[in-house]
Chains A and B, each alone.
Chain A
Amino acid sequence: MRYAVYGLVVVLIIIHQDNWLWDDKRLILGFMPITLLYQAGISMGAAFVWFLATKFAWPHHLEEIAQESPAQESPAQESGETE
């Protein structure tokens, strides 16, 4: 499912180019330019895909790692030098 979510992100990037509406000046509902409506749809689609990402591709292990050792000082900061 994780790969399906990443695949949807790629699909969003591809359909974002919308070559097919390049010279279309139609107004939808009498006021909304079709190209603007389409791109607003891409924004809504993005929100939905990212919602799926939080459900199926969320890196839960990172939260656990951080909670195990909150705000430790790094060795480099303690010594002041890393090089």
Chain B
Amino acid sequence: MTQLVIIGIYLSLLLFLGVFSSRLFKGTSKDYMLASHSIGPFLLLMSIFGTTMTAFALVGSSGEAYKEGVGVYGMLASSSGIIHSLCFFLLGIKLWSWGHKYGYTTQIQFFRERLESDRIGIILFPILVGLVIPYLLIGVMSSGVVISSITEGAFENSFAAYDYGVPPWLGSLVISLVVLIYVFFGGMRGTAWANTFQTIVFMILGVVTFFVISSKLGGLQAASHAVLERNPSKLMRAVDPKDRERYAEKYKTWTLIAKYNYATRILKTLKLTPEQKAEAYKAFKPRMPNWQNTAEAVYAADNNLYELTSEEVNKALLTQDDRVMPDPFPEKYQMGLMSHHELKEYPRKANAEKEKAMLIFGGKIGHPTHDLDPDDPSKGKKWTIKKALGVYRASNWAPDAPHPMSKLVFFTYFFVPLSVGMFPHLFQHWLTARSAGTFKLPVVAHPLFIMIVWVPCVLVGVWATSAMFNGSPLFPPHFPANAVLAAMVKKMTSPVLAGFLTAGILAAIMSSLDSQFLCIGTMFTEDIVVHYGGKDRFTDKQVVLMARMFIILVVAITYGFSLLEPRRVFTLGVWCFSGFSSLFPIIFAAVYWKRLTKAGAYAGVLVAIGSWLYLFKEAKYALNPNYTFLGMMPVATMVVASATAMILVSLITRPPSKETLVRFFPED
């Protein structure tokens, strides 16, 4: 409950800030959308940084480091330090100068004039809004997960289905409403102020979290040495032989369990006698909650008590891992055994883990502060549903195979941060700058700020792989990556600190949501309503009202998606960024290539979005987190394809008019 109160106070503070900044609101749509070009270097740095660092940076980076190791930093953070500032430097300043000179508020206004095409807006508007929605989704979804994880057991009788904490759908809803309210009142000025405040909050609290967690793990050195001992592959990008050996042993044991379960539960050709079971348990050292099953499986295998055909073994593996059984069963698996890699090609059955976990551990699930056995408190507390799911996954599913990071994937990740050049919300932030000189501080400090936020998050995620707590691993195998940071904060800090740290995580999330909310409202009014309705048809008050209404509509749609969305934050983020990156060649050419034509830009946009849709579908709509195309990140193909189409078509079509070229390239 303490955490909930602190989060409530923090959200109230934000609302106050939004309302206060509205007192400075000049009442014009320009002030609402661009803060009247009044933002100085510090506010610009904080608002740009706060906007680019979202749940992806805190929740996603720690979760991905937990899964993939320290290589995550080089893959995305250090490359972003180079590329983001490059985009601010090469694109931001030029676009700011044109925006200031010609009165642009949105990207589409710029493209319409630079490309001498009104209809480009009709294509770009749905694409940009469509790509912002998954970006919003990351924030909305993560905020619900974080609040839910941190408030487990906060209520005595309510929300039993959510471990007596705030349900994710409610957490996401509250965060969306709070951000909506302060964006409504404060507009761009409120957003810039709130971003600055929230960026300071999450940077300070992030560093505090890092040191609190490291001290709970016995200090920086002890935390890292535990990883070196138990999961050395997480400290590099190759696979350590020790991890490979451990995995081979675990997979072998898991195969025995799968076969034993299949023989006893599905075929019913084997049933151990009580004496055999007693002998099996006697020879086994208990480690996991479901250890008896493992002991029986090892005993049955050692004593050759059953025999299965290749087809039966393969079906046993698929059943044990909750995979969908292929129908008809492939011929090749009727004769030979499938590898772990081949096994993973079959998707897991939806909800299988929940149904089975409830069936097996239903009697142990309850309020996490209540004793499992009221007459014997030494047996511990009741299990949360999340714990039951975790124990089920850890004791039933195949162990994760260690895998090296591909050099080609690492290199082609470099294309992902190019997305910053096409983020519509960042374009709008650039235009708020008071002068070109305002950009100097963001350009220089951005890579350092990324380092301050990402290095601790990546280390915490890596430590989580090997951390022990009260004598047992802090996280069982297959623990959901998105919940790693929140779970560590909850388990390893006091309720008061956990409340503050959660506020810090929410700050990072909200500082991106607000800019995105404002940007989509701005695009709708400027690029659709005012553009097609006529500039003098609506009063400024009506324009602001329409922006607000459209924001509500998009937030409602995003919120609806968040109720269905199960994907990893990091994977979803990478797809969203890849879409924006695939449009990067168009904005870059628009700024630096005089020969870019209207037709060339259309070709680039259509190829970008066409290749994105195709590859996104191939990756099973982000459900496959390790999807690559030609061994590379899909974004590399999208960027090259869109650039090629744009260049070729531009070269064979009529160049832009002299008037347009003089307007945008006067120095030449």
Contacts and interface: CB of A to CB of B under 8 A. Distances in A.
A38 to B, nearest CB: 8
Interface residues of B, number: 69
A47 interface: yes
B436 to A, nearest CB: 4
Interface of B: 37, 70-71, 73-74, 77-79, 81-82, 85-86, 89, 93-94, 96-97, 100-104, 109, 112-113, 116-119, 219-221, 223-225, 228, 232-233, 235-238, 240, 405, 407, 410-411, 414, 435-437, 440, 443-448, 450-451, 455, 458-459, 462, 531, 534-535, 666-667
The 9 A-B residue pairs with the shortest CB-CB distance, nearest first, are: A23-B238, A63-B436, A31-B220, A83-B118, A46-B447, A43-B451, A30-B221, A39-B74, A25-B235
Given A16-B74, A23-B236, A65 B101 contact: yes
A77 B30 CA distance: 14
Contacts of B414: 13, 16
Interface in A10-63: 12-13, 16-19, 21-25, 27, 30-33, 35-36, 38-40, 42-44, 46-47, 50-51, 53-54, 58-63
A76 to B, nearest CB: 5
Contacts of A66: 96-97, 100-101, 435-436
B113 A17 contact: no
Nearest to B447: A46
A40 B535 CA distance: 49
B407 A33 contact: no
B78 A47 contact: no
B118 A82 contact: yes
B77 to A, nearest CB: 7
B447 A43 contact: yes
17 contacts: A13-B414, A25-B233, A31-B223, A35-B237, A39-B73, A43-B451, A50-B89, A53-B443, A60-B436, A65-B101, A65-B666, A66-B435, A66-B436, A74-B102, A74-B104, A82-B117, A83-B119
A30 B225 contact: yes
Contacts of A18: 74
Contacts of B117: 82-83
A17 B408 CA distance: 10
B81 A76 contact: no
B73 A71 contact: no
B37 A71 contact: yes
B113 to A, nearest CB: 5
A78 to B, nearest CB: 8
A40 B451 contact: yes
Nearest to B233: A25
Grouping DSSP codes into helix (H, G, I), strand (E, B) and loop, the B interface class, with mixed when no group exceeds half, is: helix
Contacts of A36: 70, 73-74, 455, 458-459
Contacts of B236: 21-25, 33, 35
Nearest to B458: A36
Nearest to B224: A31
Contacts of A74: 102-104, 109, 113
Nearest to A63: B436
Contacts of B224: 27, 30-33
Most buried by B among A23, A43, A51, A66: A43
A77 B535 contact: yes
B221 A31 contact: yes
Listed residue (A12, A36, A65, A76) with the most chain B CB atoms within 10 angstroms of its CB: A36
A36 B98 CA distance: 39
Interface residues of A, number: 53
Given A33-B236, A82-B117, A43 B220 contact: no
B221 A39 contact: no
Contacts of B448: 43-44, 47
Contacts of B101: 65-66, 69-72
Nearest to B451: A43
Contacts of A33: 70, 224, 235-236, 462
Contacts of B223: 31
Contact of A59 (B71, B77, B93, B450): B93
A47 B447 contact: yes
B347 to A, nearest CB: 32
Contacts of B77: 39, 43
A66 B443 CA distance: 19
Contact of B78 (A46, A60, A63, A72): A46
Nearest to A18: B74
A19 B81 CA distance: 19
Contacts of B89: 50, 53
Contacts of B86: 9
Nearest to A12: B82
Contact of A42 (B82, B405, B666): B82
A13 B310 CA distance: 50
Given A36-B458, A54-B443, A82 B411 contact: no
A50 B73 contact: no
Given A36-B73, A70-B101, A22 B116 contact: no
Given A25-B235, A35-B236, 16 more contacts: A16-B79, A19-B407, A23-B236, A23-B238, A27-B221, A27-B228, A31-B219, A36-B73, A36-B459, A39-B73, A54-B440, A66-B435, A70-B37, A70-B100, A82-B113, A83-B119
A70 B436 CA distance: 12
B103 A23 contact: no
Contact of A50 (B225, B444, B458): B444
**Residue from the set A24, A32, A77, A80 with the largest chain B CB neighbour count within 10 Å:** A77
A74 B437 CA distance: 24
A81 B459 CA distance: 53
A50 B85 contact: yes
Contacts of B235: 25, 27, 33, 35
Contacts of A40: 73, 78, 451, 455
Contacts of B451: 40, 43-44
A25 B112 contact: no
A53 B221 CA distance: 37
A67 B443 CA distance: 21
B97 A82 contact: no
Given A39-B74, A62-B93, A80 B82 contact: no
Given A23-B237, A66-B436, A72-B103, A82 B116 contact: yes
Nearest to A55: B440
Given A22-B407, A76-B113, A16 B82 contact: yes
